Structure 1
Amino acid sequence: MQCDYFDAGACRSCTFMGIPYDVQLRRKQQDVQERLARVAPEVVWRSPFASPEAGFRNKAKLVVGGSPGALTLGILDREGRGVDLQGCGLYPHALSAAFGPVARWLERLQVPPYDVPRRRGELKHVLLTVSPDEELMLRLVLRSDRHLPRLRDALPRLLEELPSLVVVSVNLQPEHKAVLEGEHEVLLTEQEHLTMSIGGVPLHLRPGGFFQTNTAAAAALYETATGWVRDVAPRSVLDLYCGVGGFALHAARVLPAGTPVRGLEISAEAVAAARTTAAELGLAADFGTGDADAATADADLVVVNPPRRGIGALTQALERSSARHLVYSSCDVASLARDLADLPSWVAQEARLVDMFPQTGHHEVVVRLQRG
């Protein structure tokens, strides 16, 4: 993949840019195998999932810069000035085609962009997500609610120009800090979720909810884990850090009716979304709100999909539990290696690299373990 922004030095986020994709994938595979060799010496590596190297991102996190009449959507340079990246090749056409209409709509409203060095202004970020059906969710991160009435009044014009836009919200982040979003979300549309259909499972993403950035890679993760679930035929399943229920719902579809499948997630909104999908599909999967870090891990097969920090103290619960099978999906091989070292009674059987982020060194690794 070639990128004019990278070549011009305007954006260096893609650290592997210019390296042939097959070389990128080979390097990542070698890296994860070497870093897990000590803690998973018997693991069998499946063929890695190779993502499309361009147009793979389903979400755009665009910093708003510039000035009224000359907005930029992209990143900030070292001086805090806006660098426009609307032509970035990582976004599919269905997503990037919305950047222009959204930018022009904001220009007409004259909502001042937030000036980071001077700590003044209102509009901080434009967050756009596209579903597999090419529907869109737009979230605007603002410093305050002072422009909400104008945004509401002007929204019909944007919806007319972008008929694929089905969810619009405003997130309020009054603080000047690196945290992108605030705690308060204001919906501007009647529809509250974007449907991310993967493998016949309509996962419902609400504003602020987590979903994998690469839809094709997410499908590969679910397919891989579901195949393992089918192979081991567990008596029960517990999906920890379940989010909107992707792993649990896919598992419930391939297990015999009546097999207990539960999900646990700290976000009440994500749990509500998972329950909605289960009801739509007629699945008996059950979802609850709670801290996965403190779970008892009491099930025949446990799935963990933690944040980058890993599962930490949950390793002790897994050691004490009666679980026989474990599927661990990790976005950080360092924390994965640490956690596997803290699971001495478990043996890694199979693993797969899923290339979630081409053009960078980031990746996902999914591992199947069983009691030694």
Structure 2
Amino acid sequence: MSQTLSSVRSRAALRTSARVCGELLVVLVMAAVTIWILGRMWSVIWPLIIGLLLTTLTWPPTRFLRRHGWAPALAASTVTVLFLLSAVGVAAMITVPVASQSGELTTGVVEGIHQVREWAAGPPLNIGDDQITEGVDTAVSRVQGSVDSIITTVFTGLSTVVNGVVTALLAVFLMFFFLKDGPRFLPWLARQLPGRLAKDVPTLAARGWDTLGSFVRSQALVGLLDAVLIGLGLWLLGVPLVLPLVVLTFVSAFVPIIGALFAGLVAVLIALVSNGPADALIVLVIIVAVQQLEGNVFQPMIQSRGLGLHAGMVLLAVTLGGSLAGIVGSLIAVPLAALLAVAWNYLREQLSDPPQETDPHEPQTAATPSL
């Protein structure tokens, strides 16, 4: 028999759909306003994010010292100083060997340029010295014609460097205060909030803190795997400066996309000027293979286990963050997605019905088998 639609039920469904769409629109507008406000406050939020990530990395030794009777200020100061000394030591491990072999590297670069020039002069390119000189003169004239834009770019780069230094210093100061006063933050926050918020917000903050710690630990493990695999390949090929390149690879793993590109470019360049084009090509293949393993296997698997996210969600978060906000978006996309997942899971817990408890004194009836 054919059934006709009920006009009453149809109007009720339409009203419910309209109400849900209106409420969803209000939520989206509020989210857009929140993102706009955060964008206006980015000069403060970005050091805060970096400070929190550094705090998750340095909190375990601080907690150890505090549990052994150290005063909070003394423990935070000691760990902060040790962190700065470690950063300087890492920089020294990279720059000192490079500086000690700078003469050999310079000679290798010059020889590499001569080799490229001789290769270009032969078949199939057959580029002569006159053509090379003409190309250089053309490039010089173009550079001279764009002096204003170059100066503007240089000043923009200097401004970016200065802002980066200020952000780093502010992040270190924030890290010190987080290490010193962090355990008192949640009780203070609970006293400032009314009603149920005094319980919900500190609980969410504690879970979010654990999530950030998992992110930093998983990222460090991914960087260690990259450094070991790439360093092993460089050592087998006999490329010099293996230790600085390993350290650079590990440190650059904390900066998505640009960090891997920079470390890989440096490794390929050193292999080119020291071992020749063949080994440089092999190094490039090794780096590309390791980076593919990192992006498609290591990072999704490790971070999905540590953050409670599916590997596909990690890939989508990094892709979306990079398309929306570039390198910074790629850096904060995964922890932000994990924090959103924490908030959503907590909201589900609060909105779910409590499990029904069966009365042990109530008689249990056997299920009637279906015929």
TM > 0.5 fold call:
no
TM-score by length of 2: 0.28
Structure 1 length-normalised TM: 0.27
Larger-gyration structure (1/2):
2
Higher strand share: 1
